[in-house]
A and B are shown apart, each in its own frame.
Chain A
Amino acid sequence: MSFNKADYLGSVLETHKMKHINNLFDKFKEKRKEIKEKLEGKYEEKIYAPFNSGSYAKHTAINSKFDLDLAVPFKRNSFSTIEEMFNDVFEFLKEEYNDLAYVRKQKVSIGVEFYRDTDGDIIQIDVVPGRELSKDAYPEEYYLNININTYDGTYTQTNIQAQIENIKGKQDARQIIRLLKIWKCQKNKDFKSFFMELIVIKAFDNKIISGNLWEKLKIVLEYIKDEITRENFSLKDPGNSSNDIAKTLDSYQKNSLKNDFQNILDNVELNEENLKNYFKENEKFKEVESESKNLYRVNNSSSVIIPPSNQFG
């Protein structure tokens, strides 16, 4: 039986599914629920209902590396500045989880990293506070101003709902996004997942992407390597059209991504099995899957099968 690139990539995706880590994932959800309830108790009518955001909400999560995000929409009159809101949520969580977790300020979120539990698992929840643009506007438009954790108190406008909406129903694109996240994670590349999402969706918008999983991946890789270094190449943030996510990469990073993808394409062309060097199955969840999937393979079931003459000993 020869190596089949599409089947192999299918197995890479299968072994990275969240269903394999249900127990751990339940713990994440439990903690997120707890944080959500604490925030609701503390801020009461200052906030709208906190909601789940991030890769799980977008169905692009992979089981080898994931975190859960909780977005918290504050009302316009809750705080006078975005930074004040951010700091208040940070202080509150720090106080609440004083002995239980390491609470820190991240780029746009507050990370709550629980100390290792008795199973040896570390649970991390990222809380993203945002404030509506004007009074009562949030339930209509879902725009939020979120803090950017620098020293000059800058903030940016975003629309997490629009970002989630942007990827909804795009089953094919999500498969490719997950594959590229697996590659990124296994190769320790520092591209933002959000960047990967947008560029894959753009490829699907601009190219006819069909065929099996490998054929689709190949077209996307070709698209990215051809387009990424073009001068006017841009990636509009669906949550803020004046925000160009392509600009989050400098020209060195863009060239390096182009080279990486060119290498994948060249080396797989040279020898199909080289695909395994770039996308590895999650070994932890492999055995069970490969067993149940086996079947007798027939390449031609519509006409009579004639065996070759043969020598036995």
Chain B
Amino acid sequence: MVKSNNKIGLEIEYDDNLLNELFEIALVHYPNEIGGYLLGKYSENKKTAIIVKQITALEYLNSPVSFKHIVNEETKNVFVKLFEGEGIHYLGEWHTHPNSNSRYSQTDFKALKKIAKGDIENPILLIVGFDKKGIKDYSFNVFFNKEVYKYE
């Protein structure tokens, strides 16, 4: 699946199974939020972010309205292994909004801003809005020029 944003001219590419996988994880943690990291690579021309896999946060605190992950040593080692072994790296984040929609919150915005100060300036944020019956809606977002843009 490819989604793009015409205003900024960037795209993402991902496998449709990704959302099924996330829904199963979401149910396990219901009614709390859960989340993790999106990994993959950028295309040669740096216009497409290709999501290859996700990793659920190894250490975290959560509630029905919040999710906080801690990037501990174990997590860092996983990133190093994947980078050296499979050539894929961190592209952004995902988390769930149980019983809610996929609109990003002010907290989510601040989190993206924080990430953009590091090694990648355009982190992706996938939000999955769901309830017990299934995914209600989901959104792929990207932080660009101090704003959040949605991929359609």
A188–B107 alpha-carbon span in the complex (Å) = 47
A303–B8 alpha-carbon span in the complex (Å) = 27
B67 close to A (CB within 8 Å): yes
Q: Which residues of B contact A312 (CB under 8 A)?
A: 33, 35, 66-68, 93, 95, 105, 107-108, 111
Category for how many chain B residues contact A = 35 or more
A291 close to B (CB within 8 Å): yes
A292 close to B (CB within 8 Å): yes
A303–B122 alpha-carbon span in the complex (Å) = 17
Known: A304-B80, A312-B67, A312-B93. A297 touches B120 (CB 8 A): yes
Complex interface bits, B136-152 against A, C-beta within 8 A gives 1, otherwise 0: 00000000111000000
Specify which of B37, B47, B105, B144 is in contact with A307 (CB 8 Å cutoff): B37
A270 close to B (CB within 8 Å): no
Contact: B65 with A297, CB < 8 Å? no
Q: Which residues of A contact B122 (CB under 8 A)?
A: 1, 296-297
Quote the shortest CB–CB distance from B89 to chain A (angstroms). Answer: 5
Specify which of B46, B68, B90 is in contact with A309 (CB 8 Å cutoff): B68
Quote the shortest CB–CB distance from B132 to chain A (angstroms). Answer: 21
Quote the shortest CB–CB distance from B57 to chain A (angstroms). Answer: 10
B69 close to A (CB within 8 Å): yes
B22 close to A (CB within 8 Å): no
Known: A1-B144, A296-B49. A310 touches B68 (CB 8 A): yes
Contact: B89 with A310, CB < 8 Å? no
Contact: B68 with A311, CB < 8 Å? yes
Q: Which residues of B contact A308 (CB under 8 A)?
A: 71, 114-115, 118
B45 close to A (CB within 8 Å): yes
A306 close to B (CB within 8 Å): yes
Known: A1-B145, A305-B79. A310 touches B114 (CB 8 A): yes
A242 close to B (CB within 8 Å): no
Q: Which residues of A contact B115 (CB under 8 A)?
A: 307-308, 310
Contact: A296 with B68, CB < 8 Å? no
Specify which of A296, A306, A309, A313 is in contact with B79 (CB 8 Å cutoff): A306
Taking CB as reference atom, which chain B residue is nearest A311?
B68
Quote the shortest CB–CB distance from A176 to chain B (angstroms). Answer: 27
A232 close to B (CB within 8 Å): no
Known: A1-B145, A305-B79, A311-B107. A296 touches B42 (CB 8 A): yes
Quote the shortest CB–CB distance from A295 to chain B (angstroms). Answer: 4
Complex interface bits, B40-56 against A, C-beta within 8 A gives 1, otherwise 0: 00100111010000000
Q: Which residues of A contact B69 (CB under 8 A)?
A: 309-310
A298–B89 alpha-carbon span in the complex (Å) = 11
Quote the shortest CB–CB distance from A294 to chain B (angstroms). Answer: 5
A88–B84 alpha-carbon span in the complex (Å) = 79
Q: Which residues of A contact B123 (CB under 8 A)?
A: 307
A23 close to B (CB within 8 Å): no
Q: Which residues of A contact B71 (CB under 8 A)?
A: 306-309
Contact: A1 with B146, CB < 8 Å? yes
Q: Which residues of A contact B144 (CB under 8 A)?
A: 1, 294
Contact: A304 with B89, CB < 8 Å? yes
- Near A by CB (< 8 A), chain B positions 95-146 give 95, 105-108, 110-111, 114-116, 118-123, 144-146
B10 close to A (CB within 8 Å): yes
Q: Can you give 26 contacting A-B residue pairs, CB < 8 Å?
A: A1-B116, A1-B122, A1-B144, A291-B8, A292-B9, A294-B144, A295-B10, A295-B46, A297-B120, A299-B121, A304-B80, A304-B89, A305-B89, A305-B118, A306-B71, A309-B71, A310-B69, A310-B93, A310-B114, A311-B66, A311-B68, A312-B67, A312-B68, A312-B105, A313-B66, A313-B107
Closest 9 CB pairs of A and B: A313-B107, A295-B46, A297-B121, A304-B83, A313-B105, A300-B119, A305-B90, A310-B111, A305-B119
